[in-house]
Structure 1
Amino acid sequence: QIDKMSARSSQLQEETAALQQALSQLATSQAMMDKLRAEEKAAFTQNKADMEQGLDGIKIALKVLSEYYAKADKAHSSADGAGGSIIGLLEVVESDFTKGLAEMTATEESSLSAYDTETKENEIEKATKEQDVKYKVKESTELDKTVAETTSDRSGVQAELDAVLEYLQKIEEECIAKAETYEDRKARMVAELAGLKEALRVLNEESTDGALIQTASLRGVRRHSHA
């Protein structure tokens, strides 16, 4: 169970690291988009101002020329042809400027719309991944805590078991020691009896009353042995 929890925690940590890397890349991508959008907006603002200023100048020129050549003064009749050509050229330029300004504005609006759409998608992706990271970190932390507590409990049980085994071993050693002491005592008693028997044999051989001494002594030995 502990191994499974540890493996799951490791997997969650790997997934969290991958998500955090993806979030970092997403942030970098968004920063580049923001920079490009700012540059595009600045360029559009400047170009639009220049185009509008140029267009206003052309309109003023057309108005002045139109009013000038519209006068009934015949003194200008010789220049009517040249004036008409200039006015026609200015009208073409005005049309080009108007068309260019419209296209420029449409491009800016399209770029802004694409930027807003992708930015919102990035925000949703960021929020989703951040929430996923939060849950995975929480689960991994809880698993690590459970593993640590379980390991600690198992260590405590093992320590108690070791203490019990040590106590049992101590008792066993004491019992063996007592058994050895009893055997030693028994061996000494047997040796003492053998010594007494040998002494009686010697005395029996040397004494004229050997039979009496042997009989009395053996009775005493038997009583001592039964005791």
Structure 2
Amino acid sequence: MMKINDFVLAIEMKVPWTRPKSHPSHEINLAAFTLISLTSLIFAIGCDSFSITVTTYGLSKMAICSDLASKIGRNTDDKFIEDLIKKHLHALDVIETAGNVLQPINFCLLISDFMLIVLTIFQFKSGKGEPIAVVAAMCMTFLLFQFCFMGTAVSSSCEDFERSIYCSKWYELENVSLKKKILLLLNVAQRKREYSALGIKPINLYTFADVINKAYGLINFFLRRF
């Protein structure tokens, strides 16, 4: 009988993680870009969680105030108005605190998202684009959209509260003191509340559309020039 022993053939395979025949600096650039993307992702998740939590809390408080304001009528007493004023001031304090904290974050997000969109599309137009750059640009664009949507929701909630006071039956109140308090509350409600990027640009859906539009316009400008 003939016995054939098992044998193992070792094969060494190297799978390139970059494009073949690329410049050595390409690996360094890709590694740096990946590290920056991961760091930005962790930072973005933290900012996103803070924005959603605080903004949702402020919106819920403003919704309660709007509901109470719509119930103002002939039988409204002084205690009801004082309670409404306290709740409204608390909601405004939450929104303003969140807005102050998010101002530098919003500014950095606007600039980074604008530049990332421009660079990513410009690279693909020139045939040097990387898939990871597209993923990063899409994530940053979605994050900017979410922040802008939250900013629009804050502005809309403040307008809803103002509209609730206007549409209530405050004119049926017989107490002049209560009418003065409602007018004071209405004066406070008319002050515009919104998120902004260091006070330079408001954070809302109009700003999001403007960023996308200007990024596309800048890309067309460079492509025509170069």
Q: What is the TM-score normalised by the length of structure 2?
A: 0.34
Q: Looking at secondary structure, tell me which structure has more helix per residue.
A: 1
Q: What is the TM-score normalised by the length of structure 1?
A: 0.33
